[in-house]
Amino acid sequence: MATATQLRSYTYDADLSLKAAGLVAADAGHTIVNVGAATFKGVAVIDVSAIEIASNTERYVIAVQGSTSASFASDVQNLAAIELGATEVRSGGAIDSLTGRYEVLFINEQAGVVYPYVRLYTDVTGDIATGINYSAFIGRDHLTNA
């Protein structure tokens, strides 16, 4: 039986990179990855190295989006998301977000539509000076053995 640590380990594949390490201080879409025309279950592995919350107004929603358009020009669907930021503006009063690894499970099929292209989109709100710095990639969903 695998340990919890083993289940949370992911093999990095450059072809599944969603975002290179770097600062995000305004709304932005990131690298588009083609996961294919079949149903795909994965984990967006997000490694946050810095997060600004000094003003207590900063909120960052990182969404895994899908599209049938290779350029994301149309037919964009939010497949999953995580909210990070200051406790004062996070839903339900969640704690101040920390640096570290976050894992977001997703599936590229919603309401019977398969979205072969996926990307991350970062929605940034609040009094932003430096923003959030992170990298991300798609890992295998160990929980469903997909």
Mind listing the pLDDT tens digit for each residue in 102-126? 999 999 999 999 999 999 999 999 9
Prediction pTM value = 0.92
Is the predicted pLDDT of residue 5 greater than 80, yes or no? no
Going by C-beta distance under 8 Å and a sequence separation of 6 or more, which residues neighbour residue 144? 41
Residue 65 identity (one-letter amino acid): Q
Give 142's pLDDT tier (boundaries 50, 70, 90): low
- What is the C-alpha R_g of the chain? 15
Domains of the chain (ranges; CATH) run 4-140 (2.60.120.1110)
Least confident of 61-65, 85-89, 139-143: 139-143
Nearest to 106 by CA among 144, 73, 52, 68: 144
Nearest to 40 by CA among 56, 64, 9, 14: 64
Give 144's pLDDT tier (boundaries 50, 70, 90): low
Is the predicted pLDDT of residue 2 greater than 70, yes or no? no
Burial class of residue 20, CB neighbours in 10 A (0-12, 13-18, 19+): exposed
Mind listing the pLDDT tens digit for each residue in 21-78? 999 999 999 999 999 999 999 999 999 999 999 999 999 999 999 999 999 999 999 9
